[in-house]
């Protein structure tokens, strides 16, 4: 029997499977034309671990295994991207981005790319994944899907 997380809400409760995974279980797959470089992949995996511990709708900007900016707890993912980029400042150029859940629209990745993000890791699974991937391909940005979401309700 799998362990579950329970959240009580008005009129009921939510049951979620906890986010337990080991690095060896993670099977990231590149979904864009450009593969991440070795350095980008290393930073993507670092950022993926970091974003797990942050409040939902979390975004992490990282480079050289250093967290440069984060945004979390916002009503929209693009606002979390804005906060993370603001904190990273000029250091966002050449950085990577991790998102705890899929991007429901291409606006978050577009904003990150406009600030110099070169690779993105996210779970995937949106009905608009193709639009998000197309934006990354248009700008030669590597995008990796994990198939595992960190987002919690």
The residue with greater pLDDT, 53 or 17, is 53
pLDDT computed for residue 153 by the predictor: 41
pLDDT classification of 27: cutoffs 50, 70, 90: confident
Domains in the chain, ordered, with CATH?
21-145 (3.40.140.20)
Who's near 36: CB < 8 A, 6+ residues apart? 30, 44, 96, 119, 142, 144
What pTM was estimated for this model as a whole?
A: 0.85
Q: Kindly tell me if the per-residue pLDDT of 28 is higher than 70.
A: yes
- pLDDT for 53 equals 85
Q: What confidence score (pLDDT) does residue 56 get?
A: 84
Strand-strand pairing, 96-99 and 12-16: unpaired
Of the candidate ranges 13-17, 48-52, 97-101, the one whose mean pLDDT is the lowest: 13-17
pLDDT at 93 over 50: yes
Question: Which residue did the predictor score with more confidence, 67 or 2?
Answer: 67
What's the rounded mean pLDDT across residues 32-36? 99
Q: Are 68 and 117 in contact (CB under 8 A)?
A: no
Percentage of the chain lying above the pLDDT 70 cut: 82
At residue 11 the predicted structure's pLDDT band, cuts being 50, 70 and 90, is confident
């Amino acid at each position: 029997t799998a362990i579950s997380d329970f959240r009580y809400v008005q009129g009921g409760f939510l049951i979620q499977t906890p986010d337990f995974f080991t690095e060896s279980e993670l099977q990231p797959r590149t979904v864009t034309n450009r593969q991440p470089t070795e350095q980008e992949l290393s930073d993507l995996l670092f950022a993926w671990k970091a974003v797990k511990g942050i409040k939902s709708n979390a975004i992490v900007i990282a480079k050289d295994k250093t967290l440069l900016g984060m945004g979390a707890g916002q009503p929209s993912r693009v606002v979390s991207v804005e906060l993370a980029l603001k904190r990273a400042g000029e250091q966002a150029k050449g950085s990577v981005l991790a998102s705890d859940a899929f991007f429901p629209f291409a606006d978050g990745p577009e904003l990150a790319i406009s600030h110099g993000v070169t690779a993105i890791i996210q779970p995937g699974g949106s009905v608009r994944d193709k639009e998000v991937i197309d934006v990354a391909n248009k700008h030669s940005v590597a995008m990796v899907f994990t198939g595992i979401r960190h987002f919690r309700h």
